[in-house]
Amino acid sequence: MNQIRNQLIKFMTGRYGADKLGRFLTATAFVLLVAGLFIRNPWVDFIAAAVLLVSYYRMFSRNIRRRFEENQKFERVSFSIAETFRRWRFRLQQGSKFHIYKCPSCGQKIRVPRGKGKIKIHCPKCNTDFIKKS
Ligand SMILES: [Zn+2]
């Protein structure tokens, strides 16, 4: 048992191993494999196998710098997607309680509470006042 472990350690030395992108690819392959059980389209299985192959290729790769750069790129993209969703959700939550108006003279966005009838809005940036329905 110990010998197998040592051989595995020896085999993995100098190889890239798992990272965030690797885990994402493995999870994607797994989801596709499960989906393939229901969808029964050979393409789903094929794509799942291809994704799994790529994730293993990256794990055993010796080109560590290249794999690191791929992971960096992936992290950047996944961060911006998460950020977009976060902003989107924030706007949705705010949308029921607040109204966002743009100042007619400088374009500054101003958040006002909803349901207060006609109100005078004061722009904090250029000191313009304008009347809107909240
Ligand atoms: Zn203004």
Report residue 59 CA to chain centroid gap: 22
**Cα(116) to centroid of ligand 1, in Å?**
21
Q: 50-99 pLDDT, tens per residue?
A: 999 999 999 999 999 999 999 999 999 999 999 999 999 988 887 778 88
pLDDT at 116: 87
**Cα(133) to centroid of ligand 1, in Å?**
17
Question: What are the sequence ranges of the domains in the chain?
Answer: 2-96
The torsion angles phi and psi of 47, rounded to 5 degrees, stand at -65, -40
Whether the predicted model's global pTM rises above the 0.85 cut = no
Percentage of residues of the chain with pLDDT beyond 90:
68
pLDDT at 2: 86
How far, in Å, CA of 34 to CA of 26, rounded?
12
